[in-house]
Chains A and B, each alone.
Chain A
Amino acid sequence: MNQMTQAERSVQTGTGDVKFECRDVQVWYGEKHALKDVGVDILDKTVTAFIGPSGCGKSTFLRCLNRMNDTIPAARVGGQMLLDGEDIYDPRVDPVQLRARVGMVFQKPNPFPKSIYDNVAYGPRIHGLAPTRADLDAVVEKSLRRAALWDDVKDRLDDTGTGLSGGQQQRLCIARAIATSPEVLLMDEPCSALDPIATAQIEELIDELRDRYSVVIVTHSMQQAARVSQKTAFFHLGHLVEYASTDDIFTSPKDPRTESYITGRIG
């Protein structure tokens, strides 16, 4: 994957339909206006990278997409976010159902201190996706295979998930997220706690996941954004400064702030 050329990737760019349509998104933490007028269309079957200096609101925006911000009492969200044309902040929407469709992988690998099997099976179980034990086994195997972890753990599914290496734990978290068959996969700096080899494996995985899911990845590494994404959004001080294809962002940025950032002058 890392060897993939720029040309190869640009061919695959922008093949999806719009999955998330966001307009005028605002987020306040108490008095602090953390996200201002963000409008972005996130495409299906595409990896979208959010980059920007730390504290600029990347995670905040990502957490709006599956309403994880609901769990922060001080957070208020405004604007419109449509998933397949439906407003996810409509009062009739149950965030629990939304999160089954919009999975999330966190910065620090956070497997449950349960067996590997139970980690992956948890989502399908609570959503009733696998009525029989055989179905559940199949879902677990499929998810672990997609997360490129099956061969590592197939003989020790009963071992606890926290006993795996950091990279394996993160792949387990990815398997857990995709076990509920989400449509969108949100990843908040999924490699920042990992070593370069594990990072390369995850990046490869992200590229493979693109054929099914819309993947949104927050990263502080511009190289990573350039390697894995087709679309890139640059955030700065709570604003979405520029959103374009990854090639354009890195080769011909339109906004001077983007240029300063990717050339290393802010950040």
Chain B
Amino acid sequence: MSDPAMPAARARRSLLKTDPGTSRRNAAERRFRAYGAAAVVVAMAALAALMFTVFRDGASAFVQARATIPVVIAADVVDPDGNRDPAEMAGVLTMSYGRLLDQALTREIERRNIQVEGLTQRDITGFLSAQARADLRRAVLADPALVGQEIEWRMMTSSRVDGMLKGRVTRDTAARDAKTSVAQYDLAMALRDQGVVRAGFNWRFITAPDGSDSRPESAGLGVAILGSLYMMLIVLVLALPIGVAASIWLEEFAPKNRLTDVIEVNISNLAAVPSIVFGILGLAAFINFVGLPRSAPIVGGLVLTLMTLPTIIIATRAALKAVPPSIRDAALGVGASRMQTVFHHVLPLAMPGILTGTILGLAQALGETAPLMLIGMVAFVSTYPSAPPQGLLDPASALPVQIYNWTQRADPAFFERASGAIIVLLAFLLAMNLIAIWLRRKFERRW
């Protein structure tokens, strides 16, 4: 029986000729694909531009110009009483060691027969980092046998000289800069040509604590990295078990009623709360109410835990939901209790998702700045926090806050440091993402 709704036998067309409808559809598909590709190109270009500028500005932070010159540790300067007692030698101030270094540099210039027009004492004093005197003093106090000897001493140059070797400071800008001079520039070039001043990898940038405003060359990320590490530790130890336990309860045990609906909606809301609000909460609750110290990793860790919890809960619940119900049926069917079902079967299968979510939550927390500034982690900290658990109460900095901090300082050398710190932060984030991918691959199971 023929169906009246069907169009009467369509005229047969050649398959070799596309009809207008099909061409339109194909064109639309091509357009859509082009839009998609264009979107990807835009995203990749933005990422490439970001990476390019960060590396252009920041890569040089990992390199530091250092001068190696023979220094005479004159006994009459560093040990006026002549008894080599470190306690008494500690009375000699850093300033005196500066004089030793100035003398050493002057001698070296003469010895190498370097002629620089208009070179002043100020250019020589300002050639080496103020940190160099402090380092020398520490070395001598640690080893009084050095007194009276001549040692080959390698030390940091000032940030301006460092900038000259890196090309940041040119002869022209040196002329206009109150902190340096053309003569200092010429001296730096001459010493570089003779191999006295050399650029080398700058471990201190990663290990040293922050430096004062006048010593960008000595500023490092050590305290910030430790602080961030401590906070991540706290977040991991607190947020993972709490988040997983909460998710398991919500997903596997909670009755579906008004109360759990409200909880569920609020967890999603919590994930959307701006981080600075968590900072205010941390300030009010942990510092003002509980009385924990400011700037301490424990407070930062607690605030970041609160912030990370919703992320972990949402990821964990998604991972638990993705475990096929047939696995739960199978376990219950052989007489496993609900808890056995969860811990023997569901949780292991959800593990990759949970770990991925946790690491992404940690990565998010690692880059968080605003709440940490509110709880005082923006302070200048030049001493390392001690080992946990005591160290969790010591003042510390954090990577993103340190970056912000450096961008606020006047000396352009700090801008280089800030960009370098961004590279370090990105490296940590990349490492965490790689770990997440690796875990997902490792635990991935098919069912």
A interface, CB within 8 angstroms of B: 66, 68, 71, 73, 96-100, 103-106, 108, 110-113, 122-123, 126-127, 162, 173, 176-177, 179-180
Residues of A within 8 A of B432 (CB): none
Residues of A within 8 A of B445 (CB): 113
Residues of B within 8 A of A173 (CB): 330
Judge whether B333 and A66 touch: CB under 8 Å.
yes
Query: Which of B255, B256, B331 interacts with A112 by CB under 8 Å?
Result: B331
Residues of B within 8 A of A179 (CB): 334
Q: Encode B286-328 as 1/0 by CB contact (under 8 A) with A.
A: 0000000000000000000000000000000000000010111
Q: Encode B79-109 as 1/0 by CB contact (under 8 A) with A.
A: 0000000000000000000000000000000
Given the known A-B contacts A73-B256, A112-B327, are A96 and B333 also in contact in the complex, defined by CB atoms under 8 Å?
A: no
Judge whether B447 and A113 touch: CB under 8 Å.
yes
Q: List 11 other contacts, CB 8 Å, given A110-B329, A180-B334.
A: A68-B333, A96-B336, A96-B337, A100-B335, A104-B333, A110-B324, A112-B345, A123-B334, A126-B334, A126-B340, A180-B335
Given the known A-B contacts A113-B445, A113-B447, are A103 and B333 also in contact in the complex, defined by CB atoms under 8 Å?
A: yes
Measured CB to CB, the closest approach of chain B to A204, in angstroms, equals 23
Most chain A beta-carbon neighbours within 10 Å: one of B326, B327, B332, B446: B332
Counting CB contacts under 8 A, is B349 at the interface? yes
Counting CB contacts under 8 A, is B24 at the interface? no
Query: Which of B255, B330, B337, B446 interacts with A110 by CB under 8 Å?
Result: B330
Given the known A-B contacts A106-B329, A112-B327, A112-B345, are A122 and B334 also in contact in the complex, defined by CB atoms under 8 Å?
A: yes
Residues of A within 8 A of B337 (CB): 96
Residues of A within 8 A of B333 (CB): 66, 68, 99, 103-106, 177
Q: Within B399-447, which residues are at the interface with A (CB < 8 Å)?
A: 445-447
Query: Which of A98, A108, A126 interacts with B336 by CB under 8 Å?
Result: A126
Query: Which of B256, B329, B344, B447 interacts with A68 by CB under 8 Å?
Result: B329
Sorted nearest first, the 8 A-B pairs with minimum C-beta distance are A100-B335, A110-B326, A123-B334, A99-B335, A104-B333, A110-B330, A113-B447, A113-B445
Most chain B beta-carbon neighbours within 10 Å: one of A99, A100, A177, A179: A99
Residues of A within 8 A of B326 (CB): 106, 108, 110
Judge whether B327 and A68 touch: CB under 8 Å.
no
Judge whether A111 and B340 touch: CB under 8 Å.
no
Can you list 27 pairs linking A and B with CB atoms under 8 Å apart?
A68-B329, A68-B333, A71-B328, A71-B329, A71-B332, A96-B335, A97-B335, A98-B335, A100-B334, A100-B335, A104-B329, A105-B333, A106-B326, A106-B329, A106-B330, A106-B333, A108-B326, A110-B327, A112-B331, A112-B345, A113-B327, A122-B334, A123-B334, A126-B334, A126-B340, A162-B447, A176-B334
Interface of B is mostly: helix
Measured CA separation A53–B86 after assembly (Å): 97
Residues of B within 8 A of A123 (CB): 334-335
Measured CB to CB, the closest approach of chain A to B348, in angstroms, equals 9
Residues of A within 8 A of B334 (CB): 99-100, 103, 122-123, 126, 176-177, 179-180
Measured CA separation A105–B256 after assembly (Å): 28
Residues of A within 8 A of B446 (CB): 113, 162
Judge whether A127 and B335 touch: CB under 8 Å.
yes
Judge whether A126 and B330 touch: CB under 8 Å.
no
Residues of B within 8 A of A111 (CB): 330
Residues of A within 8 A of B327 (CB): 110, 112-113
Judge whether A113 and B349 touch: CB under 8 Å.
yes
Measured CA separation A162–B255 after assembly (Å): 32
Measured CB to CB, the closest approach of chain A to B375, in angstroms, equals 43
Measured CA separation A104–B328 after assembly (Å): 13
Measured CA separation A68–B327 after assembly (Å): 13
Measured CA separation A66–B331 after assembly (Å): 13
Q: Encode B329-366 as 1/0 by CB contact (under 8 A) with A.
A: 11111111100100011000100000000000000000
